[in-house]
Amino acid sequence: MSERKGIASRKGNFTELLKFLPAGVDVLIMDNLGGYASGLSPREFQDGLKFFVQSLKGRGITALMLMDINAPSMSKEEALASVGGAIQLFKWENPRTGRSERALEIIKMGRVETPIGSLAYELDSGGFAVRPAEERHLKQTEE
């Protein structure tokens, strides 16, 4: 069974966060990375985040770090330069159906072939599901 713990944002103190992680952690979910950029120069944030990511990698920890859409654009750019992969989630109005859809875009994924363009996804009782274009089209015509 997994253990969950929380730590408040420490304004870029990634070293303190590493000390907080108990031995044996193999997955870290961090929400919201933008809080760690507060009050730091872009270079300080990027250096701290790169150190943090490399330290996690060295400990065999897989991390999912979330960043709010309202984070300063400079923080987003620095974060992108510091991580191995990035996925952007957003909503858009489908011009063919006139319906609002959830979509994702794989911005970067180190050494992995990724699709170009957006992919639709749904949140349902089963969780998070990416829907192939053919399946979305069939579902829309049935409704």
List pLDDT tens digits, range 14-47.
878 888 888 889 998 888 787 777 777 888 888 8
Tell me the β-bridge partners of 27. 62
pLDDT for residue 132: 64
- Global confidence as pTM: 0.65
29 strand-pairing partners: 64
Distance CA 135, CA 139 (A): 6
- Burial level of 46, CB count in 10 A (0-12/13-18/19+)? buried
DSSP label at 21?
Answer: S
Q: Over the stretch 66-77, which tens digit does the pLDDT of each residue have? A: 887 777 676 778
Which band of pLDDT confidence, cut at 50, 70 and 90, is reported for residue 119?
Answer: confident
Q: Compare 112 and 134 and report the one with higher pLDDT.
A: 112
- Binned at pLDDT 50, 70 and 90, residue 3 comes out as low
Q: Are 123 and 102 contacting, i.e. CB atoms less than 8 angstroms apart?
A: yes
H-run or E-run covering 128: strand 127-131
